[in-house]
Amino acid sequence: MLQRLFTKCLISPKDIEPSAAGFEVVSTFNPGVIERDGEVTLLVRVAERPVEERAGWVCSPRYAPGEGLVVDWFEADGVVFQDPRAFESRETGNVRLTFISHLRVFRSVDGHSAEAGDGRFAPAAEEEEYGVEDARITRLGETFYFTYVAVSRHGACTALASTKDFQTFTRHGVIFPSENKDVLLFPEKLGGDYVALHRPNPRYQFSPPEMWLAKSPDLIHWGRHAVLHAGQSPWETGRIGGGAPPVRAPGGWLEIYHGNTRDPGGGVGQYVAGALMLDGENPAVVLGRTQEPIMAPEAEFERSGFLSQVVFPTGLVERDGVYQIFYGAADTYTGVVELRRDDVLGAIDVMR
């Protein structure tokens, strides 16, 4: 791991009120991040669950068009919990979440503190029935585009939205069908195309987990899919996926991504962060990678929470030779870490 210059729990569940009566905030994490007007804007995922408990029952909230938040109850004997986040019906095999998420705007002047703003992006469509999650923000021209995970009975897919002010938002619909997450847009066209990283999440695993690359003429229609990087080290054999949207760096495109250690006991496993260097003109070419994680859970708020042992990078800002990496910690908090740019780039081994 690299030496940290600064680490802080930036946002916690106690920093925000629930959006509806009878609910409590359990997590404020996995922020989309962009620097604008000398400040950092964050789209933070806020996960909420009902306060009410019933003996012998478990509940799952959802968004219903025309009704708002609805809570469904299931007999505890009829479900199996996969982990604290989700349970599966013994009868149908269908999965439900124990919470529902929306996105909330926060602002930070220096990346060392944050305050809630007025902007809110909440479920508003059938494909968002179980929540909207994990925004990744990219500036294209004068518009801020963000991908997000839309979760519903149809699965976890990736949708696209845009904004100019983080007060009003335009939805552009689903761009990657389920199951697909961690879609990151490059901040410029390459070879006349928009380019995205994405993570197919197949039910059957025929290979190590993989990140893929895709191209589009218009941000809506995506194709020319190709494998970019498969998990090779023990710390990226459980899951792997894009973290912060790629940024230009000396030598090419820097991608800070997440890796997960496979847990043979069936648990979630540890999440860490690594780095890739992609060719500046053709990002399908991997020039180098870190052999070891650049970040792993160290602080108490990273090791203990809704899920233990998780650092999940989702945004990066460069200031004066320092990378501020914003991330979800323990699926509960938003954290920020500062690393020297030269340390990050120096940890990348050139592939031969």
**Domain-located, residue 283:** yes
Backbone angles phi, psi at 251, to 5 degrees: 105, -15
Q: What percent of the chain is predicted at pLDDT more than 70?
A: 99
**Domain-located, residue 30:** yes
Of 65-69, 157-161, 216-220, 325-329, least confident by mean pLDDT is 65-69
Of 57-61, 86-90, 263-267, least confident by mean pLDDT is 263-267
Rounded to 5, what percent of the chain is helix, strand, coil? 5, 55, 35
Give mean pLDDT, residues 301-330: 96
Give mean pLDDT, residues 279-304: 97
Average pLDDT of every residue of the chain? 95
**Domain-located, residue 225:** yes
Amino acid sitting at position 321 = G
pLDDT band at 314 (very low <50, low <70, confident <90, very high): very high
- pLDDT tops 90 at residue 36: yes
Instruction: Tell me how far apart the alpha carbons of residues 201 and 314 are, in angstroms, rounded to a whole number.
Output: 18
- pLDDT tops 70 at residue 352: no
Give mean pLDDT, residues 291-310: 95
**What pLDDT does 351 receive?**
65
**Domain-located, residue 259:** yes
Long-range contacts of 148-152 (CB under 8 A, 24+ apart): 148/32, 148/103, 148/121, 149/181, 150/125, 150/174, 151/97, 151/101, 152/126, 152/127, 152/128
Q: Write the CATH number for 120.
A: 2.115.10.20
- pLDDT tops 80 at residue 204: no
**Domain-located, residue 93:** yes
**What pLDDT does 266 receive?**
66
Burial (Cβ within 10 Å: 0-12, 13-18, ≥19) of residue 17:
exposed
pLDDT digits (tens, 9 = 90+) for 1-19: 899 999 999 999 999 999 9
Are 315 and 325 in contact by the 8 Å Cβ rule? The answer is: yes
Q: Which domain holds residue 124?
A: 6-350
pLDDT digits (tens, 9 = 90+) for 228-268: 999 889 999 899 999 999 999 999 999 999 999 977 776 78
Instruction: Report which of residues 66 and 215 the model is more confident about.
Output: 215
**What pLDDT does 340 receive?**
98
**Domain-located, residue 160:** yes
What does pTM read for this prediction? 0.96
Domains held by the chain: number: 1
Q: Where are the alpha helices (DSSP H) in the chain?
A: 300-303, 341-346
Q: Report how far apart, in Å, the C-alpha atoms of 174 and of each of 37, 134, 183, 252, 278 are.
A: 30, 15, 12, 30, 27
Number of Cβ within a 10 Å radius of residue 51: 10
Of 99-108, 265-274, 311-320, 328-337, least confident by mean pLDDT is 265-274
